[in-house]
Each structure stands twice: as C-alpha cells, then as structure tokens.
Amino acid sequence: MANINKIVKVNSLTEAYELNQKRSNVVLGGFMWLKMGNRSFQNAIDLSKLGLDQIEETGDAFSIGCMCTLRDLELHAGLNQAFKGGIREAVHHIIGVQFRNGATVGGSIYGRYGFSDVLTCFMALNTTVELYKAGIMPLTEFAELKYDNDILLRIHIKKDQRRLSYQSQRLSKTDFPLITVAVSKKDDCFYIAVGARPAKARLLVKPGCTLNKNSLEEDIIDFSNWAADQFNYGSNMRGSEDYRRHLAAVYIKRGIKELL
C-alpha cells in the first residue's frame, strides 16, 4: 500500500509542475493503480481544481481532460457515436463501475501500462497527447518515451472518419486482459494496435490494403496472421507467447471483418 504524507490541491499548472519535479511527490490522478505499490510520497498533487475533467467535442476532434474517468469515456454519447461504441467496448470490461468511476484517463495513458485497454484503443485512432512542457505529440511517440516529471493535460482524438473495432481476452470477467487488439480503418489503410503482449501496446500501420467486403476468408486470415506476426509476445501467468500470438491473429481477423 502506498503512503502519502500530504495531499496538495494545486491552483495552477505551474504550481503542479514545480511540485512534480521532486521525486518524493506524485500526481494523484484517480489513485487506483498507485495505491497498489509500496512507495511513500511526500506530496500527492491533486489536479481536480484545474478543470481537466471535461470531454470537449468540436467539429473535427475530441479533447479529453486527464482527470476524466473511464466511466466518462464509457458513457459519452459523442465518443460512442463517432467510433461506433469502440471506446465503450474498450473500457466497460475494466473491473467494475465503481472502479471506472475513480480511474482517470490521464493515469491510464501516462502510466503506459502493458495491460491498458485505453492505451491500445486510443493508439488505433488519430490520437495526440498534450503535455505541460513538451506540448502536443502523437500518442505512439509518447508511449515510447521514458518516464519523466512532465504532466499530461489532455488527450486529443481527431475525427478523421476512421472506424474502430476493439477486442480483448480475459481469463475471468474482471481480470487484467490476456491480449488487447484495436483495429481501425480509413480508406484503404488499416491501423492495428496490440497490447497486453504482455508489453504495452504498439501500432502497425498498413496502407494500400486491398481487403474489402468481398474478400475471401483465406485472404483475411492470411493478412491477420501476417499482422499478428509483426508484434513481439511474451509469456506470464496469464498465457504463453504462442497463445497470445494466436489470439492476436484471431482478434485482428474479427476486427477486420467487423470493419469490412
């Protein structure tokens, strides 16, 4: 269990950033995963007064504040309409409603956890992250960075007519995922993200794909097997490397067929 000496409700991002430069301090978020560790923190930085708990929709994008909860994602009508329920599918398996009412989007993305459904889902979309110091960058680039003391403010998802399908496998309903797969399509380009390998999600982009609704089943299977082989997998208590690779191919195929 994590130990916190003091919770500081900051009044500005500058104050939050300056406090976060000390290794003994931490941004609090929803405190759902941090509490599972054994670290002690001098100050927990609470961003709840900074208005970062809103999902804003414009004509061409969504802007999701870091303090929005997973439950906010699940219930947001605009997100569900734009991505045909794909984001809801990604989060509604996570533990339970009580947990999703506490866990924040910022914590899920900034943590870059291998088991993160949210990271896998957003990676298959046209997603950028907004950091206090580093500014805006693609989520794929952010996911590969080393952890630092910057503060994640918002996640931006563009409406670029990309369609989304999300799949995951769990050994039991509220368990961590064994594999996570997000497939999106825009024009003739497929975007395939695979996470819980058990490493964090990575993205495969395949432009110029000729698959369509009239494609033969064998062609879809061949493409899915090829795509699954572009990722590395490992073994742990939930499943073996070979089993994960097999599941990835199955769920990539299902995602492609759903989009076609």
Q: What is the mean pLDDT of residues 106-125?
A: 92
Question: In order of start, what are the domains of the chain with their CATH numbers?
Answer: 3-46 (no CATH), 52-260 (3.30.465.10)
Res. 37: pLDDT tops 70: no
Q: What is the mean pLDDT of residues 175-194?
A: 94
- Residue 180 pLDDT: 96
Whether residue 198 has a cis bond before it, omega within 30° of 0: yes
Confidence of residue 230 (pLDDT cuts 50, 70, 90): very high
Higher pLDDT among residues 37 and 16, named by residue: 16
Q: What is the mean pLDDT of residues 141-147?
A: 93
Contact indicator for 128, 105 with CB cutoff of 8 Å: no
- Residue 219 pLDDT: 94
In this structure, the strands spanning 152-158 and 127-131 are antiparallel
Q: Which of 43, 14, 5, 11 is nearest to 27 (CA)?
A: 43
